[in-house]
Amino acid sequence: MESVTLDTINHYINGQKVKGKSDQVGYVYSPSTGKKIAEVPYATKEEVNEAIHFAKQAAKKWGNTSIGKRVEVLHRFRHLIVEHTEELARLIGLENGKTISDAKGEIGRGIESVDLAIGAPHILKGEHSANVGGEINAYSIKQPLGVVTCISPFNFPVMVPLAMSTMAVAVGNAMILKPSEKVPYSALFLSELWEQAGLPKGVWNVINGDKDTVQEIITHQDIEAISFVGSSKVAEIIYETGTKHHKRVNAFGGGKNHMVVMPDANLDKAVDSFIGAAYGSASQRCMAISTVMPVGEQTAETFKEKLKVKVEKLQAGSFDDEHADFGAVISQEAKQSILRDIEMALKEGANMLVDGRNPDVENKEGFYLGATLLDQVKPDMKVYIEEVFGPARIVVNVETLEEAIGLINDHQYGNGVTIFTNSGRDARKFTQEIEVGMVGVNVPIPIPVGYYNFGGWKSSRYGEGQMFGPDTARFFTKTKTISERWFDQKESDELTFDFPGTKD
């Protein structure tokens, strides 16, 4: 048997790649081929401590660096991302499986977060009030927290780390990034770009590992804040553990995102919108539409008839296949889990409209699933209650808009939702009454642009921080309010024990 040499993934600590010392390793697979391509030594407690030690030292100097100097680094970093988009997109495709065009779209959305961080000088401006009383001026300033950590998922190896970290760096913190062990290449590539951009050593660090590594990071006394993206189950654990150890935490979980299609909607546009939002990235997006709710029997029949024809034509393929609509799922375990979800749905009474369990693909060893569409799904079925992180989408038939709103509001998740309609009245009712964090009207994926806050409700988010938007700066800074008075040396104050007031 021919031996295969695997890449060994390094940590990135204090401005340089560091070979892991641990005997405990994980493996990286290319979803497109199913082949093992790298091994990842998981960080030891000593390596975690070392990274945080250097980050703490760097944070003091970086936090005192002028905001103008920090922004200069961000400008160069942005330029380097654009310059290396092709190379970065191929790395994403290699380790994640998504198509090159989809990877480029991810990079573009990640750059929006860099753009917002470049505007940190404006966002960091405090408040000032002159003579609030007794010739006292009051003002506030925002200061960095120190060392913060971001724990990012496999499905967006570039966009999420950028969304979580660039503002944290811009406002003066040092960063410990723990990427998913399934997609470590992209994080190290970003490290190289930060280095080329002139970011001082220790401000950006990457530690690879599993849940034990995460535990060491989030309970460390010198970590001030934790930002996490992953499943809701893990998000809740991260939130509870982090807050127990007095950390500031925002933890973003999963979603069960609905699309409501009203009788007056343009059904052709609704169908096309659903397909891209539902099956792009092999449905491995927390903001993917997983459930479509056509309102009324006639709407449902016409919509499903049009949808079925187009879903049947979707093609899974390798990340570098220009003709593929989407790529493989992340792992063999993920594939088997999705297949079990489909089987359970059928057992519970769902109807198979399009069967993608055995797709026609060139490489049978890859982790491929085709587009699957299930009809007659009821709210008490497992496939409706739980998030299915793969290309198995469902149809839930409802009679009225009120019924749709009620079902969505009763669901445990509240990440994203959208309605397709030509009625301003219905759209207003929907946007006002729906209990979901991100809402679209005739928009297939209601993920906000980088300068608006991102965050779901209910079990889709733990903590109050946001990802994207100006709230990111607030999450990664602490506000200090200062009351200041300067005495005239010729004046003398009388001794008083009264509580000071604004009328003094």
Listing DSSP states for 127-158 in one string gives: -EEEEEETTEEEEEEEEE-SEEEEE--SS-TT
In this prediction, residue 135 carries a pLDDT of: 86
The number of beta carbons lying within 10 Å of the beta carbon of residue 496 is 8
pLDDT bin (cut points 50, 70, 90) of residue 1 is: very low
Do 20 and 47 contact (CB within 8 A), yes or no? yes
Mean pLDDT computed over 448-468: 86
Strand order in the sheet with 477-484: 128-133, 136-144, 477-484
In this prediction, residue 467 carries a pLDDT of: 84
Mean pLDDT computed over 43-48: 96
Q: Considering all CA atoms of the chain, what is the largest pairwise distance in Å, rounded to the nearest integer?
A: 93
What are the residue ranges of helices labelled H in 291-331?
A: 297-311
More confident residue, 385 or 498: 385
Do 251 and 463 contact (CB within 8 A), yes or no? yes
Amino acid at 208: N
Give the whole-number percent of the chain exceeding pLDDT 90.
89
pLDDT digits (tens, 9 = 90+) for 312-326: 999 999 999 999 999
pLDDT digits (tens, 9 = 90+) for 283-312: 999 999 999 999 999 999 999 999 999 999
pLDDT digits (tens, 9 = 90+) for 105-147: 999 999 999 999 999 999 999 899 999 988 899 999 999 999 9
Indicate whether 273 pLDDT > 80. Answer: yes
Match 């703490």 to its residue by tokens.
Answer: 56
In this prediction, residue 433 carries a pLDDT of: 98
Domains, the chain, in order of start with CATH, read 9-253+472-481 (3.40.605.10), 257-441 (3.40.309.10)
Helix (H, G, I), strand (E, B) or coil at 410: helix
101: Cβ–Cβ under 8 A, 6 or more apart, which residues?
Answer: none
Helix (H, G, I), strand (E, B) or coil at 194: helix
Q: How far apart are CA 465 and CA 306, in angstroms?
A: 40
Any idea which residues carry the catalytic annotation? 286
The number of beta carbons lying within 10 Å of the beta carbon of residue 71 is 16
Strands 204-206 and 174-178: parallel
Q: How far apart are CA 322 and CA 371, in angstroms?
A: 18
pLDDT digits (tens, 9 = 90+) for 172-202: 999 999 999 999 999 999 999 999 999 999 9
**Mean pLDDT of the residues in the chain:** 94
Q: What are phi and psi of 425, to 5 degrees?
A: -65, -45
Match 């946001």 to its residue by tokens.
Answer: 466
In this prediction, residue 500 carries a pLDDT of: 64
Task: Tell me the torsion sign for CA atoms 273, 274, 276, 277.
Answer: positive
